[in-house]
Structure 1
Amino acid sequence: MSTRADGGHRQRSRPAPFQQRGVDSAMVSQIRAAVLADSSPVTDARLAAAVHSSGRLLGSEGTLLAVDTIRAELRGLGPLQELASSPGVTDILVNGPDQVWVDSGLGLELTDTRFADDSSVRSLAARLIAAGGRRLDDSNPCVDVRLEGYRVHAVLSPVSTAGTLLSIRIRRSTVFTLEELFPDGPNTALLVRVLTQVIHRRLNFLISGATGTGKTTLLSTMLGLCPETERLVLVEDAAELNPEHPHVVGLQSRHSNLEGSGAVELADLVKEALRMRPDRLIVGECRGTEVRELLSAMNTGHAGAGGTVHANSAQSVPARLSALGALAGMNREALSLQAANAIDVVIHLVRTPGGRTVGGISMLSLSAGELTAVSALELVDGSLVEGSAWPDLNKRLTG
């Protein structure tokens, strides 16, 4: 249950930090140093032995808490591990030692999790970045990495004016059905039918929306509707898609190393994916030159392809595609022609007071040479209302 915090934000009630439950930071540091002094693998048994050897009488519950805390410090997210384990939390945002926010789908909530000081935040950030094979220090104050189950971005001061900043996106293994994503309501039956038919009719599609609107979640769910006989090849900057499907192949981009070499870009991976006999080519997020390769594939027989794109509205998708096409050296006319012929439908997601939902479904077309998004369905006062493109879309869904 959420309560209101100062400034009108919801503040999530959390258990007291470990310092208040018999496991203080000095003890954590002592046990961590003892464990790391030995090069043998860090097991729960070793952690428990180190706790007992500390001489602190914690009892069975206290010992288990200490083991959990040290494990999180060494292999997890430290003080943030409890938040990451909470169902529904997709993002953890640390603004220095005194502000830790989470997003569980209803907007940001301030938690009562705190760090001892900024150096503690910096140490955690440096460890997480190092675990991803990169370095966070004064010469590299802004770094992002991909870890197992997490995407981590860190910024150090003085680039950050609020101390060390840490942004963690959590990859959830849960895959929802369309009915679970859009629970009982006036739009459920229509959305389930339209989105299911988009897949079954092998329409090329883009899912658009702002950050945190659930684009990846919906894409994973829709890919789970693909026939089991199809081969899905996923191209992502950070592996987040997890469709329930028996034949999924994933490709993930790679940053350059410290010498500035070894990078593998999304555009290159899309080309590689086309050589892997995909029945469905999926680009997790179009954010650069890979848009040219995706549109080219859609225009050369790769039906049923899809991906996501950041946009504030369906009507702004053409402008977003034009900007991305410019990065790939495509002029406005070429991009407009390619996109109008390649993309059958744009599914736009929004956040409402009731949660994430489909704000509209549009089709791309050319009007006086300009790429435009024409509404087929639009969310008005909580209900989806048919737009001028609905007859054409409905024909494609049922024809």
Structure 2
Amino acid sequence: MKNYKAIGKIGEGTFSEVLKVQSLRDGNSYACKQMKQHFESIEQVNNLREIQALRRLNPHPNILTLHEVVFDRKSGSLALICELMDMNIYELIRGRRYPLSEQRVMHYMYQLCKSLDHMHRNGIFHRDVKPENILIKQDVLKLGDFGSCRSVYSKQPYTEYISTRWYRAPECLLTDGFYSYKMDLWSAGCVFYEITSLQPLFPGANELDQISKIHDVIGTPAEKTLTKFKQSRAMSFDFPFKKGSGIPLLTASLSPQCLSLLHAMVAYDPDERISAHQALQHPSFQEQRAAERQALANHRRACFSECPVGPDLSTDWQTARESRKQHPRLRAEEERARRPGPAFVVELPKLKLAGVAKLPSFSSPTLQPVFVPGKVAVLRRPFKCVGAGQKTDTQKDLKPDLKQCRLPTIERKGGGP
């Protein structure tokens, strides 16, 4: 950590504390997550789920950026240098008298669903989605704190009490660790309600009170759903029938489409609960999808404008053609160019060469005709195909007049042949 200067403490959790630090190399500020656990080797550090998840998920506009991993072998301390954000969702709504506008709420929820979709597509689910772990900077939302994440393909059962109680899905409460990535959507639905109403949806005091709070709002689930939960629970349970009051009237400011998305996120049965990918296609996000397409189109247009583009040759050619039609002289030249033959008869100039002698003239020898009219020429000797290493009869009869001479051998200095 000699390259960083501590500025102040941001927060503290069970397994780590977060500091605001300044880099001595570039002068920028970062968030330093200092782990309380001590590590023995670099292999143990690389096997940490949070580091593996951040490396797999980065870069993404809605996932917290990991800049550097700092590990001290001597002391065994580990620190994650991450992007510094302005605040989290809890700090945004804490002490607020009036709720956020629906447009701003849906702007945040669209980004949260994008982060969950990207994470689930890469085989990871978070298991601790809550307002404190959802960070904001200049209206850009990023999901952070992947210390509790797990692989989608890992074998069940998982740890039971992993997520914060208020945002824990029913399958996490009623089973012995038999849950899936759909629990993240339940937590996101609880965050959705809390951003809108500025109050938690299910603020249970303990495990039983948490289930009771859920049943007070949603109602007792169907027997089919309870049977699925009982199959993976060592202890049996039976709940009195409750109709449920429905989502409280604190969300009366939301449109029916947004309320339908909220109900789909907090569906009791995880098999009937909406996925992050399906949530992104929900009609309530129609405005956000249109704005995203427009931003992408503007980005592409800006990229093309930076590239030099040649002139429109078709337009220039058409303009030049129209101007030639209006000029009589150019039109006459074009007509002559289209006629066969040369446009003008020009006599080439004669070359004047001084001091050149006149060449004498010689008569060419008369060539005898090979074929006499009226007679058929007969070839007395047929053609033979001669190979590269063979000689014809004529070549065999010819004897060279020159004597064969052998050149003396030149000896190389240094003893070479």
TM-score when normalising by structure 1: 0.24
| Larger CA Rg, structure 1 vs 2 | 2
Richer in strand (by share): 1
